Each structure stands twice: as structure tokens, then as C-alpha cells.
Amino acid sequence: MKNRLVRGIALTGTLALALTACGNDGNSAEGEENGLTEINLGVLSIAPSAAVQYGLDQGIFEEHGLDVTLTPGQGAAAMLPAVQTGDMDFAVGNALSVLVAVDQGLDMRILTGYSHSYAEGDDINGVVVRAGEGIDSWSDLENQSVAVNVLNGQGDLTIMEAVSQDGGDPDAIGLTEVDFPDMTAQLERGNIDAAWLPEPFLSQALAEDDFELLGHPNQEVIPGLPTMITFTSGSFAEENPEVVEQFQSAMDEVLSSAEEDPEGTAAALAEFLDMPEDVASGVRMEQFDSDPRVEQLRTMVELMVGYGFIDEEIDLDSVVLQ
């Protein structure tokens, strides 16, 4: 199968534009080539996207009748309008962002799980602090400056709840936005007191004696939390049920195969992000699994309502297609 990575597509539409967009350009798959249904799949330029590259390399999508074009996006929030207007048929993105969009009125369907935190052991993200400075428990984050990559995301949601469960006041945390690559330096300089770091930044920070792990907030709050899911628009799902079923079936095989073949997935990562294979083989991946883990999503929705991320409960039974 061809891996046609489309670069430079204009994804400048906003959520408001997506809500008012009309026309039917995105309500059906692009067409067929050599008996395969052509689809456009939005992905992020991050390590977990190696799973879809693996699926392309192994011909899994083709086996399920799909000719896939990968289109890079800047995040789920940026890809949502593109999915709604039909520039993308499907996308892989952050579950929380998709649920926020649904709360704001965007008609989206979650099709499968994709990547997940580990329910126990070393997780794929964690909160790091300076060693020996007295921040030893979640409640110690009260009145401390804590860096996340974006406010109202999975990072601050799980950190606030971890602090609350430990008897602290989540409203007393000084949450601030810092880009992941800059967090360690800001922590070292004392500009922040704690940093929520994903891999590979987490392992890099903990390799230095100056830093220590406070804990894994996902495991404290929602063990096995879905970090990314696959989604499409409600209109596409309703008008293309067979293509949706093909995609769900393909993703099930892609993710289970990628999880069972870490060496092959590392090779796909090296190809996808154009990195040395020895470096790619050392990157700790999230857990790949097509199960959307609705119960964990339900818990996340409850926390999102409680902390004001969304206005009201979301009916996941109507949003998640299984």
C-alpha cells in the first residue's frame, strides 16, 4: 500500500466554522482505486502514530479494503474541524479534546481506542519535581507552580484530581503552560516546581540526579486511561457505515499487531518520524489497544464536568460506536 503523506493541508478552520460548515464534500469516502476505498486519516507527528505506519507497512489496511492517505495535524483540536468539513475522513487524537468538542455541539463519533496509559508499573507520563525539595505527595503541589503543555487537558485534569484525592486543594495549584521540550530546563532553573512530562522527556529527566518522580497521575485517577482514540464525524458515520466498519476492523488488527511486535513498531517509528532506528527502539510506547475503554472515558467525563472542562454529562452510548 502506498503511504501518501500529505503535507501542507490547510487546517486553519476553527471549531465555530466547523459547526456552521455545510455541503456534503466530507460525507462520503473519496472513492475507490484498484478496488480499495480511499480514505484520508489525520495523525499527529508523535511516537504513537507509528502504529498506523506499521499498519501501512504490513499491508493491514489494504487487507481490509482501504487505501489510506496519512495527513499530519497539529492536535485533535485542530483536526476536529477538518474531520467535520471532510478534509479528513478519520483522525487519531486526544479523547478529551474530542469530548470537549462534543460538549460544544460538534457531532463526532469515537470509533475505536488507540493508545492508553499503563494501569500499573512505569507509565508513559508522570509528574517530575526537583529532588530533595519537600514535594513528596500530591497534596504538596498546593501553592506550587506546575507545568502542563496545555490547560484544560488530560494533564491538569488528572493532576488536580490526584491532589484532591490526597486531601489537597486542587484550586491552589499554580498551573501554567510550558512546551514539553522546555519543561526540564524551566524546572532546573526554579521557574516551575513540577512538570507533567510524557515519554521520552520523562525518562530523560529521571536520568538526571537533580530530578525525581512524584508519581503517575493517570494511574492515581484513571488507571489505563485512553490517551488517544480514533474518530470521525457523525454525518460520515451515518452515510458510510460499511467504510466505518472496515476502518474499525482494520484498526483492531493494526493495534493488536503493533502491540505484539515492538521491534516492527520501532522500525515504523523510525520511518514515520525519520529518526535513527536505535533511537526509535529506545522510545517507550503507550499501550496499543482498539478497545475504547468506555468505563474509563465515563470517569473522565465525570471529572471534566466536576472541574468545569465541560458543561454537562456526555451520553457516551451515542458517541462511541462499537
Element (H, E) at 234: helix 234-239
Residue 236 above 80 pLDDT?
yes
Residue 203 and residue 213: Cα distance in Å, rounded? 10
Name residues whose C-beta falls within 8 Å of residue 133's C-beta, 6 or more positions apart in sequence. Answer: 193
Backbone phi and psi for residue 168, each to the nearest 5 degrees, phi listed first: -95, 175
Query: Where residue 12 sits, what CATH number does that domain have?
Result: 3.40.190.10
Same-domain check for residues 100 and 142:
no
CB 42 within 8 A of CB 88: yes
Q: What is the predicted pLDDT for the residue at 208? A: 94
Could you tell me if 138 and 167 are in contact, meaning their C-beta atoms sit under 8 angstroms apart? no
Of the residues 172, 191, 221, the one at which a domain ends: 221
Output the pLDDT for position 6. 38
Closest CA to 49 of 249, 244, 251: 251
Q: Which of 195, 221, 247 is the last residue of a domain?
A: 221
Judgement on whether residues 253 and 185 belong to the same structural domain of the protein: no
Same-domain check for residues 250 and 268: yes
Domain, as residue range, for 157: 125-221
pLDDT tens column, 175-215? 999 999 999 999 999 999 999 999 989 999 999 999 999 99
Task: Give yes or no: residues 216 and 231 share one domain.
Answer: no
Band of pLDDT at residue 322, cut at 50, 70 and 90: confident
Q: Do residues 243 and 174 both lie within one domain? A: no
Nearest to 60 by CA among 230, 248, 255, 254: 254
Express each pLDDT in 50-79 by its tens digit.
Answer: 999 999 999 999 999 999 999 988 777 789
Strands lying side by side in the sheet with 174-177: 174-177, 145-148, 194-198, 125-130, 211-215
- Do 198 and 229 lie in a common domain? no
Q: Residue 92 burial by CB count (10 A; 0-12/13-18/19+): exposed, middle or buried?
A: buried
Helix (H/G/I), strand (E/B), else coil: 9: coil
Give yes or no: residues 134 and 156 share one domain. yes
Clarify whether residues 8 and 113 are in a common domain. Answer: yes
pLDDT tens column, 269-317? 999 999 999 999 999 999 999 999 999 999 999 999 999 999 999 999 9
68 and 200, same domain (yes or no): no
Instruction: Give the three-class secondary structure for 269.
Output: helix
Q: What is the average per-residue pLDDT within 163-183?
A: 97
Cβ atoms of 218 and 123 within 8 Å: the answer is yes
Which residues share a beta bridge with 125? 198
Structural domain count of the chain? 2
For residue 134, CA distances in Å to 79, 122, 225, 269 come to 41, 22, 28, 38
Residue 85 shares a structural domain with residue 113: yes
Instruction: Give the pLDDT confidence score for residue 77 in this predicted structure.
Output: 79
